[in-house]
Amino acid sequence: MNNFFYESSSDIRYPGQGVLERRKQNLKNGIQVEKEIWDKVLTLKG
């Protein structure tokens, strides 16, 4: 899973700074979920 929250350790970020970019990426590519978590979700649907 790509972590686009931290581009470098010297970046100074403010709360909500990446929200619009994340929303655009999620609408285009879907919400990323780790495979282990998704597998657990699928077992719950019965």
Say if 39 falls within a structural domain.
yes
pLDDT at residue 12, rounded to an integer: 83
Residue whose token pair is 């979920």: 33
Say if 37 falls within a structural domain.
yes
> Are the C-beta atoms of 7 and 25 separated by less than 8 Å?
no
Domain that holds residue 29: 15-45
Using the CB atoms, write b or e for 16-39: b if 16+ within 10 Å: eeeeeeeeeeeeeeeeeeeeeeee
Say if 9 falls within a structural domain.
no
Say if 5 falls within a structural domain.
no
Say if 2 falls within a structural domain.
no
Say if 31 falls within a structural domain.
yes
> Are the C-beta atoms of 4 and 18 separated by less than 8 Å?
yes
> Are the C-beta atoms of 24 and 42 separated by less than 8 Å?
no
| Total domains present in the chain | 1
Say if 25 falls within a structural domain.
yes
Question: Tens-of-pLDDT digits for all 46 residues of the chain?
Answer: 555 555 566 678 889 989 999 999 999 999 999 999 999 999 997 7
Enter the pTM of the model.
0.51
